[in-house]
Amino acid sequence: MKHDSFNESAEMYLKTVSELAVNEGPVPISALAGRLGVSTVSATEMVHRLQDHGLVEHQPYKGICLTECGYRQASEVIRSHRLWERFLADDLGLAWDEVHSLACRLEHATDPKVTEALDAYLGYPATCPHGNPIPRHHSTPSEPEDCPLTELRPGDSAVITRVHPESDELLEYLADLELVTGTYVSLFEVVPFNGPLVFKERERTVYLGLEAAALVFCKPVEEA
């Protein structure tokens, strides 16, 4: 049973499966391939390799699930990723929408010893700068109680809590719109026929497409 710390590629597959699996149920290989930017054939090959190593289970025409062991490895990578994001943003002062891709390289080069020490150094933060929880051993990952922006009704107000799943383009786009975690927004209207959500916020009007809004989570705020 060699469970060697795996290489970058395999780690990205595991991490991605874990991220896509939050919407419950097995992840189709095509979704994996899409997110990783490889062909479905390549993804299939890799998934089979991972299956041979007991990290993943593939039910043809259904999708893939992480095994216990695969889940542990994915969590370790995600943990390291989010801790690095915190460090890069909070301590090194790098930009909110840059730290994701910077951490995505570091996460594969990080020994567990470093992860542990970093966690302590940062004071055991609860979330990454984009609001996603930092996995810890012994702690069951409690489901966050926020909802996507798309569930708001016109007139509702909310604070942005989380972006998931994270991607460079999305984070960059949100940063441009100044819709980062902690931002207070109130929904003005939803343009019909799958149009964007329109937010009004002190003098400012922001249009956010449905696709993006579905990935941004918030916690409603009582009206004053």
Segment 101 to 140, residues that bind its own copies, using CB under 8 A: 102, 105-106, 108-111, 113-114, 117-118, 120-121
- Residue 173's identity, in one-letter code, is Y
Q: What's the token pair of residue 85?
A: 């994001």
Instruction: Please choose which of Mn ion, its own copies, DNA, none residue 53 contacts, taking the beta carbon within 5 to 8 angstroms, the exact cut-off set by kind.
Output: none
Nearer to Mn ion, 101 or 154 (CB): 101
Nearer to DNA, 39 or 207 (CB): 39
The binder of DNA chosen from 19, 21, 44, 188 (CB under 7 A) = 44
The binder of DNA chosen from 23, 60, 113, 139 (CB under 7 A) = 60
Nearer to DNA, 47 or 213 (CB): 47
The binder of DNA chosen from 14, 20, 35, 63 (CB under 7 A) = 63
Instruction: Please choose which of Mn ion, its own copies, DNA, none residue 128 contacts, taking the beta carbon within 5 to 8 angstroms, the exact cut-off set by kind.
Output: Mn ion
Q: What's the token pair of residue 221?
A: 């705020």
Q: What's the token pair of residue 62?
A: 């259904």
Q: What's the token pair of residue 138?
A: 């012994």
Segment 62 to 101, residues that bind its own copies, using CB under 8 A: 88, 91-94, 98
Q: How far is the CB of 39 from DNA (least distance, A)?
A: 4
Cis omega before residue 165 (within 30°)? yes
Query: Based on the number of CB atoms within 10 Å of its own CB, is 167 exposed (0-12), middle (13-18) or buried (19 or more)?
Result: middle
H/E element, 94: none
Nearer to DNA, 41 or 214 (CB): 41
Nearer to Mn ion, 96 or 187 (CB): 96
How far CA 94 is from CA of 29, 41, 129, 161, in Å, comes to: 34, 37, 11, 20
Q: What's the token pair of residue 2?
A: 């060699």
- Residue 130's identity, in one-letter code, is H
Binding of residue 101 to DNA (CB under 7 A): no
For residues 216 and 224, what is the distance between their CA atoms, to the nearest angstrom?
A: 24
Contact 144, 162 (CB under 8 A): yes
Alpha helices (H) in 89-176, listed in sequence order: 99-106, 112-122, 168-176
Q: How far is the CB of 20 from DNA (least distance, A)?
A: 12
Which chain residues interact with its own copies by CB under 8 A? 88, 91-94, 98, 102, 105-106, 108-111, 113-114, 117-118, 120-121
